[in-house]
Amino acid sequence: MEMAHTARVHFIWTSIALAVILIATCLTYFFLSKVPECQRVNIVSATESMLFKHQRSREHWLLKAHSCSQTDGSLMWENEWEGHRNESEILDHTGKWIVIQESGVYLVYIQVNFKLKTHSNSSSPTSVELKLLVHFNYGENTQMFAAAHDTQMVNANTVQDAKLNAFLLMYMKSTNQLSVRTFPSDMVNIDSRPFSTYITILKWSDSW
């Protein structure tokens, strides 16, 4: 119990530290899309949106991946705070879609770990392309954008660790949904201890 509490505290402070890094460096990047009703993923001024509009909120979540679909690369989530908070409040019945409860601006951090390996018949280094895609479902429409990607060279007969992460600042309305897809799906590391693949969601303010 104490170890689980320590892990929760660690990830909360990790998320806060990442937010500070985002403000200080302004090096975050992601796809800017035009979405009706101003629902969009956007890059905003740190002074305008972070320093002056921050409001306290109870909306904060830590979800860890427990499986990855081999058909479409979708991550299936479970609530790390299960037992303390109701898992049904944030996940749909499939465990694939994260359902937003309150409208507002959210900090979303996604980390996906991979165990890279070559095919059994390969005797030379192989190039492996890593992708992290986010699906944003608003009403009857779904927007997909690439949150992160990388290419790694994997030596023959070895297993290498690799990581993709994305830090997003998003305005979302109540009932909007998020899902995450990763490729190659058969190399996603979903070890539960320590967390290998997870997402943190913190509400920052009610509006931009």
Domain boundaries, the chain: 2-205
> 10 Å Cβ neighbour count for 4?
13
pLDDT (mean) for 40-49: 41
Question: How does DSSP assign 164-175, residue by residue?
Answer: EEEEEEEEE-TT
Distance CA(115)–CA(111), nearest Å, equals 14
Residue with tokens 């994997």: 154
Bridge partners, 16 (sequence order): none
* pLDDT confidence bin for 58, thresholds 50/70/90: low
Q: Is the predicted pLDDT of residue 137 greater than 70, yes or no? A: yes
Bridge partners, 13 (sequence order): none
The verdict on domain 2-205 having CATH code 2.60.40.1120 is no
pLDDT (mean) for 131-155: 92
- Whole-model pTM: value is 0.72
Bridge partners, 166 (sequence order): 110
Residue with tokens 């913190």: 202
The pLDDT, as a whole number, for residue 3 is 42
Contact between 59 and 102 (Cβ < 8 Å): yes
Residue with tokens 């070890």: 191
Beta-carbon-side half-sphere exposure of residue 6 (alpha carbons within 13 Å)? 5
What confidence tens digit (pLDDT) does each residue in 112-135 have? Answer: 999 998 876 767 888 999 999 999
Secondary structure letter of residue 197 according to DSSP: S
